[in-house]
Structure 1
Amino acid sequence: MGRPKRADEAGGIYHALNRGNSRAAIFDTPDDFDAFERILAEGLSRYPCQILAYQLMPNHWHLVVRPTADGGMSDLLRWVTLTHTMRRHAHCHTSGEGHIYQGRFKSFPVQDDRHFLVVCRYVERNARQAGLVTLAEDWKWGSLARVPSVKLRSFDFQPGSGKLSSSCSSSSCRRSMSR
């Protein structure tokens, strides 16, 4: 019997995450973080999804994802985790030496606008809560650091560039993320 199909409908918004096997680091250097961002951008050029917020932490990552086709998030994240694992093993010359991720990604549907704000705030403040930075926007590997000073919300990777663009301005939202 196969696994139950996860919620992954076009237009829905989901908080997706995965972490290293046994909570081990999956990003050791700035180059590791950058490589994952490039893989994610490449995946977004292949699969129908938007990233609304994200945060890469040393031993896990969080994405707020909006699939634009049914099954898009599962396809994207399956490809991203598999590609990241294969490229990391190739780069580190550890092919066949075990798992990088604890398992499949987890995802939770965002219920409404208020929940969306709570999820984005949680995701974008993760490095601050972990004591890695004083201000959430100072963490280089998250969507909040990619936003111009007065803009926030609705992020999309620019495929191939590894960069995010944003629309919708809100300095009050930006300030609330920093607290």
Structure 2
Amino acid sequence: MARNPRLDLPGVTQHLVQRGNDRQACFAAPVDYGQYLQELREAAAKHACAIHAYVLMTNHVHLLATPAEPGSLSRMMQAVGRRYVGSFNARYRRTGTLWEGRFKAALVDTSRYVLACYRYIELNPVRASMVAEPGEYPWTSYHANALGQPNLLLTPHDAYQALGEGNSARLAAYRAWVTDTVDQAEWNELRRHTQQQRAWGTDRFRQQIEALTGRAAGVLPRGRPRKAPTPEGK
């Protein structure tokens, strides 16, 4: 059965997740993480994608990115995959695929939804109990977005820029945002929308996406749909 194309609109931010095949490790040493980030930086520049936040976990990757053109994100991820997987296989004398099929992506509404994605991505190592504080994990955009370390891969999103007028105020506001109390239901909804590759945001945002794409953008209900009742004996 043919797969439906992703919801993909230029200028609309997306939360991407790509997992290692069968949940196996896709990074084994610091050189792997470093190479992936270098490949991502080059591919993002070539294919007109702005990267706002990222975290490289042992067996999966989260990105927050905005494409400038239709199909830019897919082309970027394909370019990264070709170069990185080839090097990874050669380095560890392995063959075959590294990633679990296509990446998953959800369109993300502006303002608080984008900022919620920033926080969700950069707190991933804390949720996984790998570190106690997000700044303790090396392979994340938190060091730039919260601590001000230079990172040529990143382009701040407008929602991030609006956190403060000056850089110091913005960094402080962002650190406070990341450490603020998180609504677990919000994160569950983000996961659900990403898995189903839908539009995460207000009803108005979803309706706008549906009008632009001519496709349903809301998540499907959990479980199997109920069968319609039938007359007795049918």
Report the TM-score, using the length of structure 1 for normalisation.
0.84
1:62 matches 2:65: no
TM-superposed deviation, 1:2: 4.2
In the other structure, the counterpart of 1:71 is 71
TM-superposed deviation, 1:82: 2.4
Q: Pairwise mapping of residues 11-26 of structure 1 onto structure 2 (< 5 A)?
A: 11-26=11-26
How far apart, in 1, do the equivalents of 2:73 and 2:138 lie?
24
TM-superposed deviation, 1:45: 2.5
User: Is 1:138–1:145's contact at 8 Å kept on the other side of the alignment?
Assistant: no
1:108 matches 2:106: yes
How far apart, in 1, do the equivalents of 2:26 and 2:137 lie?
17
TM-superposed deviation, 1:41: 1.1
Write the deviation string for residues 77-125 of structure 1: whole angstroms up to 9, x where unpaired: 121122211121122222xx22211111110110232211211110010
Secondary structure class of the residue paired with 2:17: strand
Instruction: Give the direction of change, closer, same or farther, for the CA distance of 1:165–1:112 in structure 2 (3 Å limit).
Output: closer
How far apart, in 1, do the equivalents of 2:38 and 2:10 lie?
24
How far apart, in 2, do the equivalents of 1:5 and 1:174 lie?
36
In the other structure, the counterpart of 1:126 is 124
In the other structure, the counterpart of 2:173 is 172
Instruction: Give the direction of change, closer, same or farther, for the CA distance of 1:148–1:109 in structure 2 (3 Å limit).
Output: closer
User: Is 1:14–1:110's contact at 8 Å kept on the other side of the alignment?
Assistant: yes
Aligned alpha-carbon RMSD (Å): 2.2
* Farther-moved stretch of structure 1 (62-71 vs 108-117): 108-117
How far apart, in 2, do the equivalents of 1:42 and 1:173 lie?
27
Equivalences, count: 169
Structure number with higher relative contact order (C-alpha < 8 Å, ≥ 6 residues apart): 1
How far apart, in 2, do the equivalents of 1:63 and 1:92 lie?
25
Report the TM-score, using the length of structure 2 for normalisation.
0.66
User: In structure 2, what residue type is equivalent to 1:118?
Assistant: A
User: In structure 2, what residue type is equivalent to 1:51?
Assistant: I
User: In structure 1, what residue type is equivalent to 2:174?
Assistant: C
User: Is 2:50–2:155's contact at 8 Å kept on the other side of the alignment?
Assistant: no
Which of the two has higher C-alpha Rg? Answer: 2
Write the deviation string for residues 35-86 of structure 1: whole angstroms up to 9, x where unpaired: 1111111212211100011100011000001001111111111211222111
User: Is 2:21–2:98's contact at 8 Å kept on the other side of the alignment?
Assistant: yes
Give unmatched runs, 5+ long, in structure 1: none
Secondary structure class of the residue paired with 2:75: helix
Secondary structure class of the residue paired with 2:16: strand
How far apart, in 2, do the equivalents of 1:13 and 1:148 lie?
20
* Farther-moved stretch of structure 1 (10-19 vs 78-87): 78-87
User: Is 1:50–1:67's contact at 8 Å kept on the other side of the alignment?
Assistant: yes
Secondary structure class of the residue paired with 1:101: coil
Secondary structure class of the residue paired with 1:134: coil
How far apart, in 2, do the equivalents of 1:105 and 1:27 lie?
17
How far apart, in 1, do the equivalents of 2:115 and 2:43 lie?
25
